[in-house]
Amino acid sequence: MLIHSLTHPVLRFAVHETGALEVLSPWFPQVAFSEEILALVDGRRLTLRGDEITFQCANGGATYALGPMTEVGIRIGALLRSWA
């Protein structure tokens, strides 16, 4: 049996009235992304280009390199760069 725990680390965000994201957590070195999260890519706050996902927040941003999709629909992202 293959068990995945997605409880840590968790990226946390606030959403401003304008719709802008504000990151509340640190940008962790590795984060698991579910298919549901990747489906929320809107081209403005979240962009997906090839195997990279980028977060654009009011207080910074980050780009993660995505690994291959697992059999349970998870892609592990490795932090490439972040900015304030």
Render pLDDT for 5-41 as a digit per residue (tens, 0 to 9).
555 688 999 999 999 999 999 999 999 999 998 998 9
Report the alpha-carbon distance of residue 41 to residue 9 in Å, rounded: 20
User: pLDDT > 90: what percent of the chain?
Assistant: 81
Long-range (24+ apart) CB contacts under 8 A made by 14-18 are 16/58
Q: Quick check: 12 and 23 in contact, CB under 8 A?
A: yes
Backbone phi, then psi, for 74, in 5-degree steps? Answer: -120, 140
Give how far the C-alpha of residue 41 lies from the chain's centroid of Cα atoms, to the nearest Å. 10
Report the alpha-carbon distance of residue 70 to residue 28 in Å, rounded: 20
